[in-house]
């Protein structure tokens, strides 16, 4: 089946008992066993029909052999790292979600794991960071929040040459935009609360593996740790996935229009968007992505207050998260990446003036008018930007 058809009919798409075209929500905690050891389901932490449906669906969409659903993206990441032991070393991207940084810095390091942070676009730096103790390369692409794009196939090739794992957080793209397993990656993760769920009504995480033995390890840890996705949320997630292609086409079109608008806005000093032809990552993005995603980050001119901008918007919602039907905007330094110390944020390019925008599916005219409202507010209150600088892009 083609991808759009898989969204509807992939995995377990109907109830085999009744023929229901929507897999039921099986709220049972335990299951009647006619004979010991012969039931497919025994206890819902170990396996649940509703959760299994969404797990098989994401595995098929990503081109993997096994999928696993968790209570959140963070629970998914933590479970993957639970495969490893004290003394193991990891190469990690320098521009990752603040919650991932918090997990590594405040939790995993206490367990004796070590990490070397690099710009994963620099393949020589990735190579140089690998030691005999290195077990995996972990990265996001595009990254959060600076939308940096790493050559997935090249990193996967490096990992295989060193007999280590490659792990990619694919949240910003979804399998509609890119499928890292098809480019040689070992493990793909998602915060499924974002584009896969798509409706701001579910918290979920997903993991997909290519290798069956690796899938068995993740499955064992999922059951042992127990951070599983509940039946209600599993049903909501599968329902959301069915419309992924329809939503993504609208997301991508709106993002292009927003980028064009921001590129001609004099109060914007820099834009981070993989679809920008002037972006140094543009050619890599064009090679490995189906479209450029719908996340855009941009910096205001020095001296302008990002809070003053985001708090004036009416259509675009000031909120954390991304990938929803509604456009969402936030200030990484104060919100999603606030757990990262300021000196580290600045070193990695996350300035105080940075704004991250998740472009939704509203009418383009309303989105652009709302952005204009925010910029007009800044023009009326800006004090530290000279007139010549304001009009330098006009």
11-65 pLDDT, tens per residue? 999 998 899 999 999 999 999 999 998 899 999 999 999 999 999 999 999 999 9
Q: What is the pTM of this model?
A: 0.93
- pLDDT-derived band at 388, boundaries 50, 70, 90: very low
Beta bridge partners of 69: 206
CA distance 331 to 320: 9
pLDDT value at residue 283: 98
| 177 conformational bin, left if phi > 0, alpha if psi -120 to 50, beta if neither | alpha
Closest by CA to 298, choosing from 327, 321, 332, is 332
310-369 pLDDT, tens per residue? 999 999 999 999 999 999 999 999 997 887 888 988 888 889 999 999 999 999 999 999
CA distance 63 to 392: 47
The tokens for 319 are 């909120």
CA distance 273 to 146: 8
Distances (CA, A) of 308 to 7, 67, 321, 353: 40, 43, 20, 11
Q: Which residues are part of the catalytic machinery? A: 45, 97, 169, 194
Per-residue DSSP letter, 186: S
Could you tell me the domains of the chain? 3-240 (3.40.640.10), 245-383 (3.90.1150.10)
59-95 pLDDT, tens per residue? 999 999 999 999 999 999 999 999 999 999 999 999 8
Q: Cis bond leading into 169, ω under 30°?
A: no
């Amino acid at each position: 089946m083609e991808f759009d058809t898989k969204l509807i009919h992939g995995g377990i798409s109907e109830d085999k008992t009744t023929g229901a075209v929507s897999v039921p929500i099986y709220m049972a905690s335990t299951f009647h066993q006619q004979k010991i050891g012969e039931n497919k389901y025994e206890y819902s932490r170990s396996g649940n029909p509703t959760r299994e449906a969404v797990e098989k669906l994401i595995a098929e969409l990503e081109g993997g052999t096994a999928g696993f659903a968790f209570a959140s993206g963070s629970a998914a990441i933590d479970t993957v790292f639970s495969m490893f032991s004290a003394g193991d070393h990891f190469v990690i991207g320098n521009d990752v979600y603040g919650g991932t940084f918090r997990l590594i810095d405040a939790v995993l390091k206490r367990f004796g794991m070590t990490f070397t942070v690099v710009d994963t676009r620099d393949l020589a730096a990735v190579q140089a960071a690998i030691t005999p103790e290195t077990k995996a390369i972990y990265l996001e692409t595009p990254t959060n929040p600076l939308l940096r794009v790493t050559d997935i196939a090249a990193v996967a090739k490096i990992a295989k040459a060193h007999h280590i794992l490659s792990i990619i957080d694919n949240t910003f793209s979804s399998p509609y935009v890119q499928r890292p397993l098809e480019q040689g990656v070992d493990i793909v993760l998602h915060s499924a609360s974002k584009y896969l769920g798509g409706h701001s009504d579910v918290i979920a995480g997903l993991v997909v593996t290519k290798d069956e033995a690796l899938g068995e390890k993740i499955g064992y840890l999922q059951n042992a740790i127990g951070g599983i996705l509940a039946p209600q949320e599993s049903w909501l997630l599968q329902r959301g996935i069915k419309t992924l292609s329809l939503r993504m086409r609208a997301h991508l079109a709106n993002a292009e229009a927003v980028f064009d608008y921001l590129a001609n806005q004099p109060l914007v000093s820099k834009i981070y968007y993989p679809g920008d032809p002037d972006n140094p990552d543009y050619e890599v993005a064009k090679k490995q992505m189906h479209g450029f995603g719908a996340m855009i980050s941009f910096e205001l001119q020095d001296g302008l207050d990002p809070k003053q901008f985001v708090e004036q918007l009416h259509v675009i919602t000031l909120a954390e998260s991304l990938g929803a039907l509604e456009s969402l905007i936030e200030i990484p330094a104060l919100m999603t990446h606030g757990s990262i110390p300021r000196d580290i944020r600045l070193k990695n390019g996350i300035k105080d003036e940075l704004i991250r925008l998740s472009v939704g599916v509203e009418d383009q005219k309303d989105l652009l008018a709302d952005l204009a409202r925010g910029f007009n507010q800044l023009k009326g209150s800006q004090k530290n930007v000279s007139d010549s600088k304001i009009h330098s892009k006009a």
